[in-house]
Amino acid sequence: MVENGASSGGSDSPSATCSRSGLLETLVRGVWYRVHCTLEEDYLSVCLDDGYDATTTLNGTLNNNNVETPNSDFTEVPEAIANQKRLVQVVKSDNNGLGISIKGGIENNMPILISKIFKGMAADLTEQLYVGDAILSVNGEDLKDATHEEAVKALKRAGKMVQLEVKYLREVTPYFRKASIISEVGWELQRGFMADVPPSPPSPRRRRADTRYVPLLMACIAKNLRHRDPEERTIEIYSPDGVHALALRASSAQGATGWHRALHAAVRRAARAALARARPRLRPLLGDVRYAGWLARRPPQDHMSASGGSDSSDEADGWQPTFVAITDREIRLYEAAPWSGEAWCAPAECFGLAATRLAWWRRAAGGAAALGLRAGTPAGLAVRALRADTPHDLA
């Protein structure tokens, strides 16, 4: 947690967390892929390893995507058509477009390339187009020297009957395979208020298409939350809004512990700076915010006892990320990190500190701990179970 503008315990100096890098695995649609990860001051870069073939396939996934793997976007192309010009007639339906995404353009020193074909749409129904096809012309309009914007406009005004002149470029297929997989990783950060000073990934000119730059501001770092790992090798990162998740897996429990600590420290430092900037605007709304950060919470249950736990036989079930803020007067629980003044004023639950007591406490392995809060409310007694991954979260 972040305490009154400073993190308690441990070192949060940039030298303690910056420039950590190494080979990990990330989970995309139920498949583990090898990635190179680099932890910078306020973001994590994730780049597919050159030998990025899947290492493990799981029945389930962390983010509930379909079990279809990213490589299913790519169809084996007959050798006879490689590097041969082809004319393909596409008939658009009344309510849909061609059903393709394109990349490239003369400004990028690249041809206009089909980077994705959407299942069931017009281009896919031809069964004659492939990811990696270069679009040479649209209805006779030459696109060989077109910018990306010019190509987009040409495709949009092509009408219902579209004749595409294409040529498959086998050498670009590995690039698109990597881009398709890595596009599933990470998230974009909201702007404004909590992100008045945006994170600092490389400038657009220095960014790589096979790398995602995951902002850590107000992110949630966890272990064994939604992704159970008895080997203790997996780390979970959740976006501030709780919508996106990133799972990373180290080769050993020791390696995962090192990454977990480093990520926690980076997130604490970024949150401390953001809260310091936001505190003048929050004080008139909430008073002083003394503590803020992520914990895990069990959903409220009628059978939760005041002495600890519930009658569930699986102690790992049911935990969800929850953002906790403690002011001079209240403990406030949020389903997502509050990003605006309105969000800070609208917690999922709020309990007065004067009517809240620590009901139970239980230490777990690896520095984690679970605790129960008992609070008096107008509706009666409320008991909430919370869990912290590190001692810093409870300091």
Q: Do 94 and 56 fall into the same domain?
A: no
Q: Do 348 and 381 fall into the same domain?
A: yes
Q: Do 75 and 60 fall into the same domain?
A: no
Q: Do 54 and 122 fall into the same domain?
A: no
Q: CB neighbours (10 Å) of residue 322?
A: 23
Q: How confident is the model at residue 83 (pLDDT cuts 50, 70, 90)?
A: confident
Mean pLDDT across 289-305: 77
Measured between alpha carbons, how far is 44 from 270 in angstroms, rounded to an integer?
A: 12
Range in 4-8, 47-51, 112-116, 192-196 the model is least confident about? 4-8
What is the structure's pLDDT at 263? 96
Q: Which domain holds residue 143?
A: 71-176
Q: Which of 153, 71, 73 is nearest to 112 (CA)?
A: 153
Q: Do 237 and 342 fall into the same domain?
A: yes
Residue 160, amino acid = K
Measured between alpha carbons, how far is 221 from 260 in angstroms, rounded to an integer?
A: 7
What is the structure's pLDDT at 205? 44
Mean pLDDT across 212-224: 92
pLDDT at 66 over 50: no
What is the structure's pLDDT at 311? 39
The whole-chain average pLDDT of the chain stands at: 82
CB 223 within 8 A of CB 260: yes
Position with higher pLDDT, 389 vs 154: 154
Mean pLDDT across 23-48: 92
Q: What is the pLDDT of residues 343-366, one digit of tens each?
A: 999 999 999 999 999 999 888 766
Last residue within a domain, chosen from 114, 144, 176: 176
What is the structure's pLDDT at 114? 92
Last residue within a domain, chosen from 120, 141, 176: 176
Q: Do 298 and 378 fall into the same domain?
A: yes
Q: Do 193 and 314 fall into the same domain?
A: yes
Q: Angle at the Cα of 43 (from 56 to 217), degrees rounded to 5?
A: 110
Q: Do 11 and 93 fall into the same domain?
A: no
Last residue within a domain, chosen from 176, 192, 224: 176
CB 287 within 8 A of CB 363: no
Range in 186-200, 204-218, 369-383 the model is least confident about? 186-200
CATH number at 140 reads 2.30.42.10
Mean pLDDT across 66-91: 70
CB 349 within 8 A of CB 334: no
What is the structure's pLDDT at 14? 43
Measured between alpha carbons, how far is 383 from 375 in angstroms, rounded to an integer?
A: 6
Both structure tokens of 100: 């393709």
Q: How confident is the model at residue 207 (pLDDT cuts 50, 70, 90)?
A: low
Q: Do 45 and 144 fall into the same domain?
A: no
Position with higher pLDDT, 72 vs 156: 156
Q: Do 223 and 352 fall into the same domain?
A: yes
What is the structure's pLDDT at 195? 65
* φ/ψ of residue 204, rounded to 5: -50, -35
Total domains, the chain: 2
CATH number at 356 reads 2.30.29.30
Q: Do 46 and 168 fall into the same domain?
A: no
Q: Do 110 and 166 fall into the same domain?
A: yes
